[in-house]
Amino acid sequence: MAAPLVLRLYIAGNSASSRRAQQNLERLRASVSSKGWDVEIIDVLTRPDLADRAGIIATPTLSYEDGPRSRRIVGDLSDTKRILEFMGIEGDHA
Amino acid sequence: MSIAGPSTKPAIDQSEVRFLIEKNADGIIVVDESGVVLFANPASETIFGRPIGSLIGSPIGIPFVVDDMTEISVHQPGARVIDAEIRTVETTWDGRPARLASIRDISSRRATEERLRHAAKMEAVGRLTAGIAHDFNNLLTVVLGNLESAMRVTAGADSRIANALENAARGARQAAQLTAKLLSFARQKPLEARLVDLKELISSLSDLLQRTLGETIVVRTTVAEDLWPVEVDPTELESAILNLAVNARDAMPEGGSIAIEVTNIDRKLADETREDEGRLGPHVLIAVTDSGCGMTPDVLSRVFEPFFTTKPDGRGTGLGLSQVYGFVRQSGGHITLSSKPNGGTRIEILLPKAAAQSDALPPPQASKQDSPFVLHSREGETILVVEDNEDVRAFTSNSLREFGYVVIEASDAHSALKILERGARVDLLFTDLGLPGQLTGKDLAECARAHRPGLKVLITTGYAGDVLIREGRLEAGTRLLSKPFSSAELGGRVRELLNQGNAPTRRVLVVEDEFLLSLLLTDMLSERGFVTEAATSFEEAVLKARSTHHELAAAVVDLGLPDRPGDGLVEELRALRSDLPIVLTTGYADDEIRQRFAPAARLEILTKPFDVDQLIAALERMEVHS
């Protein structure tokens, strides 16, 4: 992978689902070689402007920006396998 | 529902599925493979706070749901956040794979759960706090009492000793204030509720607030006309409002305004979407609003916890709002707090409208701080002290003896009752609330009153548990002294209670075996404002006299009693109370009796038949007035 992958996780403060999503994303990064990943966590409550610009209407939302393509998923990211598939990273995790 | 399909598998009619989706209370959307909304049902408008038109086409993202459902937050325009559950199934839309998702608003369920959890936590902290404070109060009673004794003993000696003792006592008194605050948070502080005129209380308080809060703070008070009465402890209410005002001031270092509004509010079920039934019905609302810096949700969720403070370097104890919370809940009211960072804070206290007839305590006649000169006992006044903690009992009894009272000690309710049953003179029962054995101090007071109606009772407690105080209030006729107390406070409270009895009691013992005549006499006397005790025999009269002779204003005795002659009863009564006014009634104008009793002081003979005026006149000749 040449250009770094930009992942943006939009969360809402300290809510349970926000915390779970962050933990799951951390686990995901640890389980795969995530050298080329750039993760940005955006709290919708403190940066409503950024959320607005990106058209975020629900959290947690993981947005995956790969060049011109932008895709996003909603949920607490607990389904690791499908998330990796979604990002096009096939099972080099254990 | 038409289960169609001519030959093979049954299927639900598509149009009915469509109908169900349109009418569903859950939001239902269809999202394509890249997370863009393709379809939204009407309920989605409410949940997302956006019209269907703007929802369709927006990139919400692909909902990934493990197991049954996942929780998400929905962000409506205007920064409103809703907790929601989302469920999905895979479907197709226009022949392409898509996801059908249902979204359910669970914010109100969440809020209820949160309130319950919060209430349970406060309850647990409260119990813990109350337990500690209670034990501390017992210890502080002993500490303060002994310090006072030491001060008396060393009076006039080395001033260094006097200073050291005074400092120690001051420290102990501060500790006592702290435990009082803890107890008021734990809702264990005995409240002396009475009918309060909020208009007066608030307006006198607002003067005080304006003066103490300084010029940079403007205090505006709006009190509605015809406020309903409420039944609260006025001192606690004042301190609660003061607390809120001081918090408000601290939130406005640059100055600002505090608005205090008091209005009647009568919430009907229809206005209320939540389950707070306690808030329905007539209440008086006291709202304190400031224009200060407000609070974040995190702070807001913890403000009522004891020792939680945002004030720097010991400027706050973290007990102010806890105290207010405890007081309001104990008074049967509710408190709510709303605040936004930089948006000010509004605190609403709802107090239930008091019932028209209230048995709340009348306002105390004497000031609480009597001068030490009037603390001393009158001749022979006897106090029964019931306390299981030996140190506290010793301190209490010694203090009372120093004031000149006769003190009888008991360590539990059982032995106290025995003393009362023996007929010993007891002018006042002073009992701890928590006593070993089955009976609490409150039960003891009730039993004692059954024997001796009108017995003065002073109950003391480190806290008031749930036994003393039903819904946090004192039964009428009982007074309370919170631990720790100083010997001056004890003496003052005892004297105050005993003095109240100096208003002449108007209880009259009526001894008459003729049923109808007895009825007539008691009616006559009741009409004139007397309280009567009726007895139909010599024996019964003696028993009743023994238990009530302190309160008796007079006795009306029939000469002809079934068991023993009434003239013997005169002697019995006089043995109990040498000065008791007695009206002797007789059907025979017996000269011998007249002669025998003529020289007796405070005795009148009435010949039957007599009328009410004659009876009252006879009583009045002995200075017994109704």
Query: What pLDDT digit, counting tens, does each position of A46-63 carry?
Result: 998 988 888 899 999 998
SS3 label, residue A74: strand
Q: Closest CB to A17: pick one of B48, B58, B72.
A: B72
Strand order, beta sheet including B382-386 = B406-410, B382-386, B428-432, B456-461, B478-482
What is the Cα–Cα distance from B187 to B156, expressed in whole angstroms?
A: 43
> Any CB–CB contact under 8 A between B64 and chain A?
yes
Q: Contacts of residue B60 in chain A, CB cutoff 8 Å?
A: 57-58, 61, 72, 74
Report residue B26's pLDDT band, with 50, 70 and 90 as the boundaries: very high
Q: Contacts of residue A56 in chain B, CB cutoff 8 Å?
A: 75
User: Contact A72/B63, CB-based, under 8 Å?
Assistant: no
Mean pLDDT check: name the lowest of B173-187, B360-374, B478-492, B603-617.
B360-374
Q: Closest CB to A72: pick one of B35, B72, B86.
A: B35
Number of folded domains that form chain A: 1
Q: Give the pLDDT confidence score for residue A54 in this predicted structure.
A: 87
B520 or B541, greater pLDDT: B541
Q: Write the CATH number for A72.
A: 3.40.30.10
Answer yes or no: is A94 within a domain: no
pLDDT higher than threshold 70 for residue B547: yes
Backbone phi, psi, residue A70, to 5°: -130, 125
Q: Give the pLDDT confidence score for residue B38 in this predicted structure.
A: 95
Nearby residues of B516 by Cβ (< 8 Å), 6 or more positions away:
none
Q: Give the pLDDT confidence score for residue B366 in this predicted structure.
A: 37
Pick the CATH number of B194-269+277-352 from 3.30.565.10, 3.40.50.1000, 3.40.605.10, 3.40.50.1980: 3.30.565.10
CA nearest B82 in A: which residue? A58
Q: How close, in Å, is residue B73 to chain A by CA atoms?
A: 5
Nearby residues of B575 by Cβ (< 8 Å), 6 or more positions away:
none
Q: How close, in Å, is residue B84 to chain A by CA atoms?
A: 9
Q: Are B200 and B238 in contact (CB under 8 A)?
A: no
pLDDT higher than threshold 90 for residue B51: yes
What is the mean predicted confidence (pLDDT) over B24-36? Answer: 92
Share of chain A above pLDDT 90, in %: 24
What is the mean predicted confidence (pLDDT) over A9-26? Answer: 90
Q: Closest by alpha carbon to B466, among B77, B116, B190, B93?
A: B190
Q: Give the pLDDT confidence score for residue B374 in this predicted structure.
A: 53
Q: Give the pLDDT confidence score for residue B469 in this predicted structure.
A: 46
pLDDT higher than threshold 90 for residue B52: yes
**DSSP secondary structure letter of residue B118:** H
> What would be the CATH architecture of the domain defined by B507-621?
3-Layer(aba) Sandwich (3.40)
User: Contact A57/B71, CB-based, under 8 Å?
Assistant: no
User: Contact A56/B62, CB-based, under 8 Å?
Assistant: no
Q: What is the mean pLDDT of chain B?
A: 80
pLDDT higher than threshold 90 for residue B403: no
Q: What is the pLDDT of residues B410-444, one digit of tens each?
A: 999 999 999 888 888 888 999 988 888 888 888 88
SS3 label, residue B146: helix
pLDDT higher than threshold 60 for residue B518: yes
> Any CB–CB contact under 8 A between B74 and chain A?
yes
Cis preceding-peptide flag for B609 (omega within 30 of 0): yes
Q: Give the pLDDT confidence score for residue B13 in this predicted structure.
A: 82
Q: Contacts of residue A60 in chain B, CB cutoff 8 Å?
A: 72-73
What is the Cα–Cα distance from B483 to B177, expressed in whole angstroms?
A: 10
Q: Are B96 and B33 in contact (CB under 8 A)?
A: yes
Q: Give the pLDDT confidence score for residue A61 in this predicted structure.
A: 94
What is the Cα–Cα distance from B441 to B141, expressed in whole angstroms?
A: 18
Mean pLDDT check: name the lowest of B76-80, B187-191, B215-219, B292-296.
B187-191
pLDDT higher than threshold 60 for residue B517: yes
Q: How close, in Å, is residue B213 to chain A by CA atoms?
A: 34
Tell me chain B's radius of gyration from C-alpha atoms. Answer: 35
Q: Give the pLDDT confidence score for residue B475 in this predicted structure.
A: 54
Q: What is the pLDDT of residues B258-287, one digit of tens each?
A: 999 999 988 775 554 444 556 778 899 999
Report residue B449's pLDDT band, with 50, 70 and 90 as the boundaries: confident
Q: Give the pLDDT confidence score for residue B272 in this predicted structure.
A: 47
Backbone phi, psi, residue B313, to 5°: 35, 65
Q: How many CB atoms lie within 10 A of CB B375?
A: 23
Q: Closest CB to B75: pick one of A56, A79, A86.
A: A56
Share of chain B above pLDDT 70, in %: 86
> Any CB–CB contact under 8 A between B86 and chain A?
yes
Place of tokens 């950024």: A50
The Cβ-side half-sphere exposure at B246, using a 13 Å CA radius, reads 17
CA nearest B49 in A: which residue? A57
What is the mean predicted confidence (pLDDT) over B232-240? Answer: 84
User: Contact B74/A76, CB-based, under 8 Å?
Assistant: no
**How many residue contacts between A and B have a Cβ separation below 8 Å?**
86
Pick the CATH number of B24-105 from 3.30.450.20, 3.30.1330.40, 2.40.30.170, 3.40.640.10: 3.30.450.20
User: Contact B63/A73, CB-based, under 8 Å?
Assistant: yes
Answer yes or no: is A61 within a domain: yes
User: Contact B72/A79, CB-based, under 8 Å?
Assistant: no
Q: Which pair of tokens denotes residue B440?
A: 């609490």
pLDDT higher than threshold 70 for residue B204: yes
User: At CA B11, angle to CA B9 and CA B13, rounded to 5?
Assistant: 155
Place of tokens 């006149």: B617
Q: Which pair of tokens denotes residue A46?
A: 């403190």
Which residues pair with residue B408 across a beta bridge? Answer: B384
pLDDT higher than threshold 90 for residue A10: yes
What is the Cα–Cα distance from B210 to B585, expressed in whole angstroms?
A: 67
Report residue B50's pLDDT band, with 50, 70 and 90 as the boundaries: very high
Q: Closest CB to A72: pick one of B61, B74, B79.
A: B61
Give me the domain span that covers residue A50. 5-86
Q: List the single best residue of B54, B62, B83 to mutate versus A (max A Cβ within 10 A).
A: B62
Q: How close, in Å, is residue A31 to chain B by CA atoms?
A: 19
What is the Cα–Cα distance from A13 to B354, expressed in whole angstroms?
A: 43
Q: Give the pLDDT confidence score for residue B277 in this predicted structure.
A: 53
pLDDT higher than threshold 50 for residue B5: no
Where does CATH 3.30.565.10 sit in chain B? 194-269+277-352
Q: How many CB atoms lie within 10 A of CB B285?
A: 18
Interface of A with B (CB under 8 A): 12-18, 44-45, 48, 51, 55-63, 70-79, 82-83, 86
What is the Cα–Cα distance from B316 to B314, expressed in whole angstroms?
A: 5
A24 or B186, greater pLDDT: A24
User: Contact A61/B61, CB-based, under 8 Å?
Assistant: yes
pLDDT higher than threshold 70 for residue B200: yes
Map B180-199 to HEC letters.
HHHHHHCCCCCECCEEECHH
Where does CATH 3.30.450.20 sit in chain B? 24-105
Q: Give the pLDDT confidence score for residue B128 in this predicted structure.
A: 76
pLDDT higher than threshold 80 for residue B3: no
Q: How close, in Å, is residue A3 to chain B by CA atoms?
A: 22
Where does CATH 3.40.50.2300 sit in chain B? 507-621
Q: What is the pLDDT of residues B465-516, one digit of tens each?
A: 444 444 344 555 567 787 888 888 888 888 888 876 554 557 889 998 877 7
Burial of residue B269 (CB within 10 Å: 0-12, 13-18, 19+) is exposed
Strands A5-11 and A37-43: parallel
What is the Cα–Cα distance from A61 to B70, expressed in whole angstroms?
A: 12
